[in-house]
Structure formats: C-alpha cells, structure tokens
Chain A
C-alpha cells in the first residue's frame, strides 16, 4: 500500500476529519459548521499552494492537487445524482398536489426514466448509446436523434422569431446610449453578412459598389468587435475573475458560509 505523505494527508483531511466532524456534530450541534469550514479551507488552499510550491507530494503527478482534481470529477458525478433526486422529488410533489402545470411534470419524469432506462440498458447490455454492429441505432440513440435533438433545436430556433419581433417593437433610438447601441448593432448586422451584395443582386451596375461597401462594413464590424467590444469584454472578464477570487478567499477563510446550508446561529 502506497503511504506517501500526500496521500495520507488527503485521507486524513477529507475522509477521517469529515467523519469525526459528523460524529461530533451529532453530539454537539454548535460544532456542525466547524469541520466543513476546515475541509473547505484545505480544499481551497492545496491547489493554490501547489501552484507556488514545487514539491512532489503537493503538485507532482500523484500529488495532492492532481488527486483533488480527480476527486472533483467524481464529486461532479454526485452533483448529477443530486440534481436527478431533486428533479424527481419536485416533480413528484407537483403531481401529487396537482399544482399548476402538473401534466408537464409527468412528461418530464417520463422523459427522464425513458432516456435513463435506455442509457442504463445500453451500459448493461454493452451495446452502448451509439450504433449496433449492424449499423442500426441503439434505442437511446434513436430517441436522441428523433426526439431530443429536434426538440432542443426547435426551442433555440424560436429565438429568431422572438428576436425579430422584439427588435421591431423595442429597439428604439430613445436616447444617446440607445442610439449608439442601435447604430453599432446595425453596422455589425450588416457587416457580418453579405447583405449589400444581396440587395444589389438585381442591379448588375451596382455590384462593384456593393462589394466595396460590404468590405468596408466588414472592416468596420471587425473594428467594433476587436476594439470597443474587446476592451469592454476584457474589463468584464477581469472584473468577474477578481470577484471570483475574492469570493474564493471568503469561502477559504470561512467568511462566506452560505454553501453550508445551515440555519442562523449555527
């Protein structure tokens, strides 16, 4: 059995300490928030230290930080399971109470169990979720291509209709800011597609002028996207990253405790 320092430390921090914490929390409710804070503290600190301290037990191939990354994939799998439980319990409650829209909850659960059932069947029978050796689709694949994909595509395609309607009704040059937005939007919409060539198609004499104007609009679009848009996006991304970093520090230091899901005073 491999008992290197990193592995032992991880087992102590993320297996023994939480178990001890649960046991203590059952006896003394005041302690319920202490151990999770300790676990979060080390889970946050280890990846940060691994960036700056080149020690094998910390950042080596089988060090603490890479191992935590692998555990994260497993935990993400459990998050899916948690989501599944949540969907089932909420839908069941809605159906049993005959809340508004309860028939849709039946459709949701039917979709969940049918797709889940076909997926599990594919795993057990070793057919997978793709195609059978004779080229025909597995049941999971058939439902995915004939039901799921068209439904998802349809929902997204509806956006075009609502965007056109909303643009007609709400996109007005009411003030300076709205006018700037409108002009920039119109330039980008024209520059991203060969609209001028399309409009000039019935008039051959206008083709060269339309092509030149289209090129100019294309360059104007690239400038808008590269310069004002690029600068604004950089600011947003840097701001969001600083916000995420400060939130991370708050969680590591135990200042932010909302994720614990505890009541007041705990």
Chain B
C-alpha cells in the first residue's frame, strides 16, 4: 500500500495534464447540460438592467483581452443582447490595451447581426480604444467628447444621434464593464464614486473575490463572477426573454452555460487530486513517523 501511495505521489505530471485535457474537452464536445443556480450578485445585476426603460443609455466597456475571453465574452454578449431587446442605447468602448478593441469589435459585430433593426449611431456606437484608462474615466465625467472625439471609424461623435445631448458620463444610466485586472476597479473608484453612475462588473473568476468588498459597501449594483456569473446571466436572460433562448439552448456556439460543464468536471478532478494527494501524504507520513 505504502509503495502504491509513494508511486502516486511521484506520478509524472504529464498524466495529470492528460486527465485535465480529457476532463475539459469531453463536456465541450458532448455537453452534459448541468443545472446552473443563480447567485444574488448576478440576480441584482440582471434586475437592474431589466428595470431600465427603452432609450436609457448604457455604457459597455470591453476591458479584457483574449486570455480571459472565454469568461468575459459570454457576459458582454449576453448584456448586449439584453440591451438590444430592451431597446436601450449602448455606447461601447475598450480600455484594455492587449486586444480589448478586437474583442469588442467581434462581439458587437456578432450581436448586432442578430438584431438587424439596431442602427449604428442611433441605437449603439463603438467609440473604440483609448489609452490611460483611469484618466479617460475622469475625463468622461467632464466631457465624453474630450476623451473620445471620434468613433472607432474616425468619424466625429457629434455626427451621431445617440451622442446628441449626452455630454458626460453622469448622464449615463449604467456602466457595465467586462474586465480583467485593475480596470474594473477603476470604474468603481473613478466613475461611481465621483460621478454617481451605477456600475455592474463582470470580472474573471480570479479577480471576483476582490469585488465582494465593493458589493458589500453598495458601490456595485451587481457582479457576474467569472464563467459561472456569465452562465447565470445567460440562464436568467433565456428564461425572461423567450426570443433569446435560441442563442443559449441547442446552439453550436460556445456559451458560458456550456463552459460550466467543463468547469464542473475539472473542479471534480482537481478536488479528487487534492484528496488523493493528502491521503498519500498522511499515510506515508504516518509510516515514516513509525519507522523513525
């Protein structure tokens, strides 16, 4: 037995890598369809957006790069779909330098293709990328056109009906930031705290623990924590708006709900590995102590 446990502890890590690969790949190829329960932070974010009225202005910021896209893309796209079905006006920006704009363009192109009635410049606008995230946010509180004088295609923002009468971010009804790293926190400290615009954050799962402090203090309207939060949002959206169900049920596209299957199996594998590792550690330690 001891020899077996010692062999287990000395297991070549490539076997673990193979196990991880199989446990993630299999549910993606053959979805399991596990249930997703809703947390209160996602529910409050969803309810806040649902309470907005047609014509209200929301700001969607793509503050992440390709490294966290499987977590952040589904939440940004779900939010965008909700905005279009509720006829909210959407302003899109990207403040993350490493590929944020590319992902913003991709998601906007994908979701606007599903809503052909949404008109560019009237129902939504893409203001593109701007460097210096915190300084940009502070400038938005004074004058949006100073921070973003043109849209992503280089046309002056004053040409677009959506920007008429919209001077500062104080007039925006909600900021939604899908973020990685520090930029999400800056939306809270620079925009909510100084200008009072409500903020919903969609951080990666590793960043999510930090934002519970802001949730508890009431500085965040809600939070979609990682892929789990995105999957919760997708489920709420599909349940509330029948027409959006087709994007989440029986689709071949990657969704957070599908991703949760893989994450569930992987969590199980990692927990089993931790238990096995500790079992081997304690049993071999007991033997060693006895031998001594």
Contact = CB atoms under 8 A, between A and B. Distances in A.
Given A131-B109, A148-B99, A72 B132 contact: yes
A69 B138 contact: yes
A153 B98 CA distance: 12
Contacts of A167: 270, 273-274, 277
B37 A149 contact: no
Contacts of A190: 267, 271
Contact of A70 (B37, B139, B270, B277): B139
Counting chain A residues whose Cβ lies within 8 A of the other chain, the interface size class is 35 or more
B209 interface: yes
A234 B216 contact: yes
A233 B65 contact: no
A47 to B, nearest CB: 9
Interface string B168-185: 000000000000000000
Contact of B212 (A141, A145, A230): A230
Interface in B158-216: 205, 208-213, 215-216
A192 to B, nearest CB: 5
Interface stretch (B55-63, B78-86, B146-154): B146-154
A72 to B, nearest CB: 4
Contacts of B269: 164
Contacts of A215: 37
Interface stretch (A2-10, A24-32, A73-81, A254-262): A73-81
A154 to B, nearest CB: 9
B238 to A, nearest CB: 17
A190 B228 CA distance: 12
Contacts, number: 179
Contacts of A198: 32, 34, 264-265, 268
A225 interface: yes
A193 B260 contact: yes
A214 B38 CA distance: 12
Contact of A189 (B17, B105, B153, B270): B270
B34 A197 contact: yes
Interface stretch (B44-52, B66-74, B115-123, B242-250): B66-74
**Main SS of chain A's interface residues?**
helix
A186 B212 contact: no
B146 A70 contact: yes
A164 B20 contact: yes
A190 B268 CA distance: 8
Contact of B139 (A69, A163, A234): A69
B19 interface: yes
A160 B265 CA distance: 12
A123 to B, nearest CB: 9
B40 A222 contact: yes
Q: Most A CB atoms within 10 A — which of B132, B139, B260, B265? A: B132
Interface string A156-200: 100011011101110111000000001000100110111101110
Contacts of A169: 9, 13, 277
A194 B274 contact: no
Contacts of A75: 132
B28 interface: no
B156 interface: no
B251 interface: no
Contacts of B97: 80
Contacts of B70: 153
B281 A77 contact: no
Contacts of A211: 35
A73 B20 contact: no
A213 to B, nearest CB: 12
B53 interface: no
A225 B147 CA distance: 36
A238 to B, nearest CB: 9
Given A128-B154, A141-B102, A226 B68 contact: no
Contacts of B24: 160
Contact of B152 (A128, A156, A193): A128
A218 interface: yes
A96 interface: no
Nearest 10 CB-CB pairs, A to B? A76-B132, A156-B67, A72-B135, A152-B66, A233-B213, A149-B66, A168-B273, A193-B264, A230-B212, A234-B213
Interface of A: 61, 66, 69-70, 72-73, 75-77, 80, 126, 128-131, 141, 144-145, 148-153, 155-156, 160-161, 163-165, 167-169, 171-173, 182, 186, 189-190, 192-195, 197-199, 201, 211, 214-215, 218, 222, 225-226, 229-230, 233-234, 236-237
9 contacts: A73-B131, A128-B154, A141-B105, A160-B24, A161-B20, A172-B277, A193-B34, A198-B32, A225-B209
Given A226-B216, A229-B212, 16 more contacts: A66-B142, A76-B131, A129-B101, A151-B66, A155-B67, A164-B17, A164-B273, A165-B13, A167-B270, A168-B273, A171-B278, A172-B281, A173-B282, A194-B35, A195-B267, A218-B37
